[in-house]
Amino acid sequence: MSVLVWIDQFRGRVQPASWETLGLARTLAEDGRVVAVVIGEGVENVAQDAIAYGADAVLLYDDPLYRDFRFETYNAALKDATTSENPVLVLFPATTRGRDLSASFACTMDLGLAPDAQAVQVEEGRVVVKRPVYSGNMIATVVVETTPAVVSLRPRTAPMPEKDASRSGEVVKKGAVIDGSQVKTQVVGFEEKEAGEVSLTDARIIVSGGRGVKGPEGFEPLRELARVLGAAIGASRAAVDAGWISYDHQVGQTGKTVRPDVYIACGISGAIQHQAGMRESKIIVAINKDPEAPIFQIADYGIVDDLFKIVPALTKEARKRLGAS
């Protein structure tokens, strides 16, 4: 039995959820083969990393044609990989790109799709998946009726495998599998996000602010705490809608779904739509002036106080203990 895993990389930088997905594939495949599919330009080092994280082999589609993520070219490479490997399962990390590509690929190949899985099993050759639906208010068990099945795995649901640089495996070099002149979609520009920010979906720790931070400058003490903890910055919709912070920080129903080890909610009341995006966090800390705020009902630790007093005190204490800058 073989399992194919698509590795999500952007300009050589791999989304860590890819390695978690590879780790899950390793457990599912048992004695079978785990084959990573790496698509990009100048990404041989990614292929080597895939082996170090548990792949038995890598199909490497390395060509200028794949510099940019485009459905036409990436689907063609995946189709080529699937045809040659005949896997039971094609797994994707459920990152933004992973969800997009898995959906487009599955439909192109007329295969069943189970997006955003939080558990995957193979029972007598059939793939069974548990996935959150109704915005996390229910868990559906679904059976994928096609072989292969196409599944994307929610980030931070499977453990991060150990990287072992001494592992060996075969890297099969594949070039462009379609004629580039037929590809009509063109990426004509790219503007990078502020460097150094920790991405919300991969973050182990998130410091999040709501209407209680009172303005754009109210996020500054949160950012300082985040720097000391190595955390990402989240926000409620109220803070985003007020224009205090950009939308890509929004957590919740109409923002991102996160599941860090610690979620520190500062000045967030904990509306049901906010909870939909963060309820799965391992530990939830609420800092809020109002002891009646619903956030305390789902929190593990609460401080009923002014966030402008508590957050700087936390930063100072954490800096002392962690010795960070």
Partner 1 sequence: MKYIVLLKQTPDTAELPKITPEQALAGNEGVTKVMNPWDEYAVEEGIRLKERYGGETVAMSMGPEEVNEALKSALAMGCDRAVRLWDEAFEGSDVWGTALVLAKGIEKDGGADIVLTGKMSVDGNAGAVAHGVACKLGVSLLTQVAKIVEVTEETITVERLLDEGRETVVAPLPAVVSVVKEINEPRYPTFIRIRKASRAKIPVLSAADLGLSPEEVGASAAKVKWVNLEKPAPKKRQVVIIEGETPEEKAAKLLDYLMNVEKVI
Ligand X SMILES: Cc1cc2nc3c(=O)[nH]c(=O)nc-3n(C[C@H](O)[C@H](O)[C@H](O)COP(=O)(O)OP(=O)(O)OC[C@H]3O[C@@H](n4cnc5c(N)ncnc54)[C@H](O)[C@@H]3O)c2cc1C
Cα 28 from Cα 120, distance rounded (Å): 8
- Answer yes or no whether residue 255 interacts with ligand X by CB under 6 A: yes
Interface residue with ligand X among 211, 249, 259, 279 (CB under 6 A) is 211
- Answer yes or no whether residue 84 interacts with partner 1 by CB under 8 A: no
Pairing label, strands 232-235, 205-209:
parallel
The count of chain residues that interact with partner 1, using the rule CB under 8 A, is: 93
Residue 63 interaction partner, one of ligand X, partner 1, none, beta carbon < 5-8 Å per kind: none
Interface residue with partner 1 among 12, 45, 84, 143 (CB under 8 A) is 143
Residue 96 phi, psi dihedral angles, 5° rounding: -55, -50
- Could you check whether the bond before residue 221 is cis, i.e. omega within 30 degrees of 0? no
Find, among 175, 147, 212, the residue nearest to 65 by Cα: 175
221-258: b (≥16 Cβ within 10 Å) or e: bbbbbbbbbebbbbbbbbbbebebbeeebbbbbebbbb
Nearer to partner 1, 125 or 291 (CB): 291
- Answer yes or no whether residue 243 interacts with partner 1 by CB under 8 A: no
Q: Look up residue 298 and give its amino acid.
A: I
Interface residue with partner 1 among 41, 44, 80, 100 (CB under 8 A) is 100
**Site residues for ligand X, window 221-250 (CB under 6 A)?**
236-239, 250
CB atoms under 10 Å from CB of 125, counted, come to: 9
Q: Nearest approach, Cβ of 199 to ligand X (angstroms)?
A: 17
Residue 236 interaction partner, one of partner 1, ligand X, none, beta carbon < 5-8 Å per kind: ligand X
Nearer to ligand X, 171 or 298 (CB): 298
Q: What is the DSSP string of 42-62?
A: S-HHHHHHHHHTT-SEEEEEE
- Answer yes or no whether residue 201 interacts with ligand X by CB under 6 A: no
Nearer to partner 1, 44 or 202 (CB): 202
Nearer to partner 1, 45 or 141 (CB): 141
Nearer to partner 1, 31 or 191 (CB): 191
Tokens of 44: 């041989």
Interface residue with partner 1 among 12, 64, 121, 139 (CB under 8 A) is 139
Q: At which residue do the structure tokens 């990573």 appear?
A: 36
**Site residues for ligand X, window 278-307 (CB under 6 A)?**
287-290, 293, 306-307
Residue 229: CB partners within 8 Å, gap ≥ 6? 205, 207, 318, 322, 324
- Answer yes or no whether residue 289 interacts with partner 1 by CB under 8 A: no
* Binding residues vs ligand X (CB under 6 A): 210-212, 236-239, 250-255, 267-269, 271, 273-274, 277, 287-290, 293, 306-308
